Chain A
Amino acid sequence: MWALKDKYAIVGTGYTDYSKNSGTTVLNLATEACLNAANDAGLAPEEIDGLVSFQLNDSVPATSVAAAMGVPAVRYAVDIAGGGNAANLVILSAIAAIEAGLAKNVLCYRAMNGRSGFRLGGGREMQAHGITQFTAPFGWITYPQAMAMWCRRHMIKYGTTTDQLGTIAVTFRDNAALNPRAMQREPITLDDYRAARPIVDPFRMLDICLESDGACAVLVTSAERAKDLRHKPVYVMGGAYGGGANQGDDLFDCLRWADHSENYAAYIAADLWAGAGVGPEDVDVAEIYDCFTYSVVAQLEGLGFCQPGEGPDFVQGGRIARDGALPLNTHGGLLSEAYIHGLNHVVEAVDQLRGDAGPRQIPDAEIALTTAGAMTCGSALVLRR
């Protein structure tokens, strides 16, 4: 279990514009976000000695970014093969590297031209190898199609409705309206949600996250080093990565997953809260991985904010709004800010804990939760100011 409570901190964040067409290379996006994060922390690129990223063959290696930044001596460079499940794992990996003495100041980034370049939802592969022999030939190909199967199982088991999911989409858009980074800022109503184009039942267009070009980065260092940098540190209270048996490759390798009405969150909750020394009731603001509306439900249930099956009711009645008991995805999330694969959730949590979130600031936010992942595996962090 995690044993490094409050010993490491996020001291800088950086990001590019989030758009449908960046007009530049993924390397340039990554470099811009990383330089911004170093500058935000007040650290020169010469002091960066580690980089960690995650990607699905759609990005640039950590060593390339280090070279583009002019980092003189890279001592730790890791590219994790992963999607949203890895967006908090990169930070845990950075901490592990520093704890081991491999590096001192480590940048974690995600960069992609996810709309104008390689689109994760594309589904162009006509040769079904490996596990996809048993999925793709039946026209079960894209992420929305994958996640809809899990959502339906929750509906079968608990009676969850699409209107209940609509509350999540509407609330997050309301937050995005106050976020200058957000790609979608036009408020929507539940009627707009109901009228959205059906994509794959039970999902409509507004259940599904954006596709984005862009990059963001966070800088991780020791609590000791963090003391005299530009901003007040955001401390990592706890973190966990994992999932249940038969995790497979997360997307479609889920045929032997035990119960598709629950996801990875149910399996990491105990480690996460025990390591952080706090519980769900202590969280002031949570940035939950929302590749789809439904994934929010599964994670709230799995992490113990409510019981299995109670998530769809839990998110009603304003509870997850900015002035509610548990504000969620104050930046608009993957649904309305941008799809930077969940690392943008960490950027927002840091904004909130520093008090830098402007009109969307949650007053006196002290403890934030970030999560990353939607299906068989994922990661989460508990952060504090």
Chain B
Amino acid sequence: MYNKPLPVPDADTEPFWTGCREGRLLVQCCTACEAKRLPPERFCPHCHSVDSSWQAVSGRGTVYSWIVVRHPVPGDVYGGDVPYVVALIDLAEGVRIASNIIDCDPDAVAADMAVQVTFDPVTETVTLPKFRPV
């Protein structure tokens, strides 16, 4: 059974997670000022409009920063996963997302490395967006 933290979607984030389940990476876009934002939130931080739409993005991005987790916390949950990579990824469309870099030697991850989203259905209801080198 999957025993890692799972997102609990709320009123603001539910479309994002639904998109992932459907294999689409969505970012929120302000209807009023057109600024894109992630993570999702009700008020546009630029113009405070509450009107927004969801736009599918390319899923292409580059590595802004990354860590390699070697000591698992909690140990019984991540013991089988270390070493694993968490990265901040700058998406081509101008927003930043945190995720894992998979299908890659952790020691080979580098700044500005080009990555592409891939979708990992970890449970029946939750699909996580992850990234692999291209």
A141 contacts B98, CB within 8 Å? no
Given contacts A133-B39, A138-B86, A201-B67, is CB(A128)–CB(B5) below 8 Å?
Answer: yes
Please, how many angstroms separate the alpha-carbon atoms of A130 and B40 in the complex?
10
Please, how many angstroms separate the alpha-carbon atoms of A135 and B73 in the complex?
14
Q: Which residues of B contact A260 (CB under 8 A)?
A: 64-65, 88
Q: Which residues of A contact B45 (CB under 8 A)?
A: 246, 256
Q: Which of A130, A132, A149, A200 contacts B70 (CB 8 A)?
A: A200
How does the 8 Å CB contact mask read for A118-131 relative to B, with 1 for contact and 0 for none?
Answer: 00011111111111
Nearest A residue to B5 via CB reads A136
How does the 8 Å CB contact mask read for B102-134 relative to A, with 1 for contact and 0 for none?
Answer: 000010000100000000001000101010000
**Size bracket, chain A contacts:** 35 or more
B65 contacts A134, CB within 8 Å? no
B69 contacts A133, CB within 8 Å? no
A121 contacts B98, CB within 8 Å? no
Given contacts A134-B39, A197-B71, A199-B70, is CB(A139)–CB(B10) below 8 Å?
Answer: no
Q: Which residues of B contact A142 (CB under 8 A)?
A: 73
How does the 8 Å CB contact mask read for A41-67 relative to B, with 1 for contact and 0 for none?
Answer: 000000000000000000000000000
Which residues of chain A from 139 to 155 have any CB-CB distance to chain B below 8 Å in the complex? Answer: 139-142, 145, 148-150, 152-153
Q: Does A277 contact B (CB under 8 A)?
A: no
Q: Does A278 contact B (CB under 8 A)?
A: no
Q: Does A255 contact B (CB under 8 A)?
A: yes
Task: Report the minimum CB–CB distance from A260 to chain B (whole Å).
Answer: 6
Please, how many angstroms separate the alpha-carbon atoms of A134 and B106 in the complex?
21
Q: Does B66 contact A (CB under 8 A)?
A: yes
B73 contacts A121, CB within 8 Å? yes
B74 contacts A255, CB within 8 Å? no
Given contacts A134-B98, A139-B78, is CB(A129)–CB(B67) below 8 Å?
Answer: no
Nearest A residue to B9 via CB reads A133
Q: Which residues of B contact A318 (CB under 8 A)?
A: none
Which residues of chain A from 227 to 246 have any CB-CB distance to chain B below 8 Å in the complex? Answer: 246
Q: Which residues of A contact B67 (CB under 8 A)?
A: 140, 145, 148-149, 152, 200-202
A-B contact count (CB 8 A): 109
Q: Which residues of A contact B6 (CB under 8 A)?
A: 126-128, 137
Q: Which residues of B contact A135 (CB under 8 A)?
A: 98
Q: Which residues of A contact B39 (CB under 8 A)?
A: 131, 133-134, 255
Q: Which residues of B contact A130 (CB under 8 A)?
A: 10
Task: Report the minimum CB–CB distance from B68 to chain A (whole Å).
Answer: 4
Task: Report the minimum CB–CB distance from B110 to chain A (whole Å).
Answer: 9
Q: Does A72 contact B (CB under 8 A)?
A: no
Task: Report the minimum CB–CB distance from A58 to chain B (whole Å).
Answer: 17
Q: Does A198 contact B (CB under 8 A)?
A: yes
Q: Which of B17, B65, B122 contacts A149 (CB 8 A)?
A: B65
Q: Which residues of B contact A256 (CB under 8 A)?
A: 37, 45, 96
Q: Does A81 contact B (CB under 8 A)?
A: no
Q: Does A156 contact B (CB under 8 A)?
A: yes
B64 contacts A153, CB within 8 Å? yes
Task: Report the minimum CB–CB distance from A19 to chain B (whole Å).
Answer: 22
Interface residues of A (CB under 8 A from B): 121-142, 145, 148-150, 152-153, 156, 197-202, 246, 255-256, 260
Give 6 A-B contacts (CB < 8 Å), ordered by A residue. A133-B13, A137-B126, A139-B78, A199-B71, A255-B96, A255-B98
17 further interface pairs, Cβ-Cβ under 8 Å (given A139-B4, A142-B73, A246-B45): A122-B74, A123-B73, A128-B7, A133-B8, A133-B9, A134-B7, A134-B39, A137-B126, A150-B65, A152-B66, A156-B65, A199-B71, A201-B68, A201-B70, A255-B39, A256-B37, A256-B96
A-B CB proximity, top 3 nearest: A133-B7, A201-B68, A136-B5
